[in-house]
């Protein structure tokens, strides 16, 4: 069971700049039984000699890796996503440890993602919006900045350790009572957020210059709620009715 859950995890690298880092990440992924690597707008050649030299016997991970232009495309089909971050944010964000948080990705057999930012800046606030939970790797305060491949290695190790525990547990211990409905996929949530922002701008609740920060708060709220696809559909139905009312009210007032 543990190996199957690991196979559903995607390691997502946003704009990786170093081919050697990508190669080292492929190697540690193979060490820990994780096979899916997705590169978002990579700034290096994953199939270069540098990358292959660092990957050693994990060249197959590099060859099968996907390259996509945007983070939402990398998360297509995923229901859970955790982002890594190491710097304070303007919006309060609960930062959790890898050991306590990463097992959440393996609780269900559906595809999930672990997102890492570029070497030179980490993930932006906008990129963090696509994750539901956030991991912070504690290190020496005098030099807390970790190499990208090192950060991925730490997280992959924690995932492998939890998956290893699952192999020795009975199905009753590892299978909680199924929810009434599965969690909504991330792309379904994203469509809802886009519609919500558009409607809130129309009614004047949001203003263009503050919309991004307000929407970050809404995203955090709804991510905590673990909405099902049915619930998202209900919320979108309310928004659609609001949009209809906004179009029809002026006409009614003229009558």
What value does the mean pLDDT take over residues 133-139? 92
**pLDDT average, residue stretch 211-216:** 90
- Was domain 186-254 assigned CATH 1.10.8.590? yes
Question: Fold for domain 2-174?
Answer: Alpha/beta knot (3.40.1280)
Mean pLDDT of 209-216: 90
Over residues 88-97, the mean pLDDT reads: 72
Distances (CA, A) of 173 to 6, 107, 142, 168, 194: 18, 11, 41, 10, 39
Is the model's pLDDT at 29 over the cut of 50? Answer: yes
pLDDT greater at residue 176 or residue 98: 98
Listed in order, the ranges of the chain carrying CATH 3.40.1280.10 are 2-174
Residue limits of CATH 1.10.8.590 in the chain: 186-254
**In Å, how far are 5, 7, 59, 182, 195 from 108, measured between CA atoms?**
7, 12, 29, 10, 28
Residue 177 has pLDDT above 60, yes or no: no
Residues 6+ apart with CB under 8 A from 132: 80, 81, 82, 223, 224, 226
- pLDDT of residue 232 exceeding 80: yes
Could you tell me which residue, 226 or 201, shows the higher pLDDT? 201
Residues ≥6 apart with Cβ < 8 Å to 65: 26, 37, 38, 39, 46
pLDDT range class, residue 109, cuts 50, 70, 90: confident
pLDDT exceeds cutoff 70 at 90: no
Q: Provide mean pLDDT across the span 11-34.
A: 97
High-pLDDT (> 90) share of the chain, %: 68
Q: What is the mean pLDDT of the chain?
A: 89
* Two structure tokens written together for 229: 């696809």
pLDDT over threshold 80, residue 169: no
Token match 């197959």: residue? 60
């Amino acid at each position: 069971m543990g190996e199957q859950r690991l196979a559903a995890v995607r390691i997502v690298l946003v704009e990786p700049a170093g081919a050697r880092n990508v190669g080292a990440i492929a190697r540690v992924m193979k060490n820990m039984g994780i096979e899916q690597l997705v590169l978002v707008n990579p700034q290096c050649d994953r199939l270069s000699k540098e990358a292959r030299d660092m990957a050693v016997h994990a060249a197959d991970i590099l060859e099968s890796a996907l390259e996509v232009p945007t983070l939402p495309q990398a998360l297509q089909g995923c229901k859970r996503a955790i982002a890594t971050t190491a710097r304070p944010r303007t919006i309060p964000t609960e930062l959790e440890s890898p050991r306590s948080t990463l097992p959440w990705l393996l609780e269900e057999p559906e595809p999930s993602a672990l997102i890492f930012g570029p070497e030179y800046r980490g993930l932006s606030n906008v990129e963090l919006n696509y994750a539901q939970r956030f991991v912070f790797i504690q290190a020496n305060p005098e030099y807390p900045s970790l190499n990208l491949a090192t950060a991925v290695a730490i997280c992959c190790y924690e995932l492998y350790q939890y998956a290893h525990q699952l192999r020795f547990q009975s199905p009753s211990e590892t299978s909680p009572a199924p929810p009434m409905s599965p969690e909504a996929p991330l792309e379904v949530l994203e469509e809802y957020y886009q519609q919500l922002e558009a409607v809130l701008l129309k009614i004047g609740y949001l203003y263009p210059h503050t919309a991004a920060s307000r929407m970050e708060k809404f995203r955090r709220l709804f991510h905590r709620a673990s909405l099902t696809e049915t619930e998202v559909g209900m919320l979108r139905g309310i928004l659609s009715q609001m949009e209809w009312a906004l179009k029809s009210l002026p006409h009614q007032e003229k009558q």
